[in-house]
Amino acid sequence: MTYEETLHYLYTSIPVFQNAGPSAYKPGLGTSIALDDHLGNPHKAYKTIHVAGTNGKGSVSHLLAAILRQSGYKVGLYTSPHLVDFRERIRVNGQKIPKEYVVDFVERNRSFFEPLQPSFFELTSSMAFDYFRAEKVDYAVIEVGMGGRLDSTNIITPILSIITNISLDHTQFLGDTVEKIAFEKAGIIKKDVPALVGEVDRHSVAQVFADAAAKAGTLVYFAQDEGLLKESYLMDTGEWYLDSAEYGQLFGELGGVVQFRNAITVLGAINLLSAAGVNIPVEAIREGFEHVVELTGLMGRWQVLQENRKSYATPGTTPEAGNICKSNWKKN
C-alpha cells in the first residue's frame, strides 16, 4: 500500500472516535495488551512519562519533550489528536514518524490486528510504542487519549505520572462529576511511581488523588502548593515571562494565560524528574519554554494564523477550555 492508501485503510477500516463517536470507544486494556505482547512489549525499551488531564496535557507534554531534548536526550512524543497530518501524533526529537514506517507497520501487523479489531487509538498507540523502540529513544512522553484508567496508553509503567487538572469532559464515558472524572484520570497512578497533579480547585478532587496514591503505594505532589512561581507577566503578544523560585526568569513562547498553569505543572515535573536522577540543566529548561514550537513541532496553542485580521488556532473542546479561549480573546 501507499501512504495515502494506508491512511484510508486506517480511517475507514478501524473505528475512529472523531468520526464514529461513542461507538469507536473501547474501554479496557485487553486489546492494547494483546497488541503490545504481539510487538514484544516495545514500551519497556525506554523510560516513559505519562500525562493525563482535562486541559493542558498537550502543552505540558510538548514542553517536557522540548526540555528533555535540550537536556541532550533522544525523546519520543505521542499526542492526539492531530491537526493536519496523522504523523503529528508520533514524533522523535520533533520529527514526525516517516510515512514509510506507518505503511510498514500496518503491513507487518495487519494479519494480527484485523481479527483483533483494535480501535484507531489502540492501533496508533502501539505504532508509537513500536516506533520509539526502533528509534532507541531515551525517554518517551505519552499523552493519555481519554480519561486514564482504561486508556490504551495505560499499559506503561512510567517514571512519573502527571495529571494536569480536572474539569467536566467526556462525561458519557468518564462520569458526570469532577470527582468521578478525577477517579478515572487517577487510574494512571501506579505503585512506586511518583504522581504530580498540576492544579485542583476542590478538596474533594484532591482527596481522590490522595486516596489513589495511598492505594497504589506511592506519593502524590500538588504543583500549585510547591511555591514554584514568584511572579508572572503576560505580554501584549500573548507570550509571557515568569519568575520561578528555582530557575530564575523564564520566557514562555506559547500564548494564553493558561500557560502559566501549565508552566507550574512542568516545573513541578522537572523537580520530580531531577530527584529521580534525570539530568536537566537550567539552560535546557529556559530553551524548552522559549523554543517549544521549533523543538517539538507543536501547533494550535493560541497560534496566530492571520495578523491583519487577528485569527487564532487553539484547542477548546471542554466548557472550561471555551472559557479560557474567551478570556484570551478579550486580552488580545
Q: What is the pLDDT of residue 256?
A: 77
User: Is the residue at 241 inside a domain?
Assistant: no
Q: Is the pLDDT of residue 6 over 60?
A: yes
Q: Is the pLDDT of residue 14 over 90?
A: no
Residues 177-218 have pLDDT tens digits of 999 999 999 999 999 999 999 999 999 999 999 999 999 999
CATH number at residue 9: 3.40.1190.10
User: Is the residue at 320 inside a domain?
Assistant: no
Q: Are 61 and 141 in contact (CB under 8 A)?
A: yes
Q: What is the pLDDT of residue 171?
A: 77
pTM: 0.89
Q: What is the pLDDT of residue 230?
A: 82
User: Based on the structure, what is the number of domains in the chain?
Assistant: 1
Provide CB contacts within 8 A for 330, sequence distance 6+: none
User: Is the residue at 270 inside a domain?
Assistant: yes
Q: What is the pLDDT of residue 173?
A: 80
Residue 213's domain comprises: 3-229+259-277
Residue predicted with more confidence, 280 or 28:
280
Q: 237: exposed, middle or buried (C-beta count within 10 Å: 0-12, 13-18, 19+)?
A: exposed
Helix axes 57-70, 282-290, angle to 10 degrees: 130
User: Is the residue at 99 inside a domain?
Assistant: yes
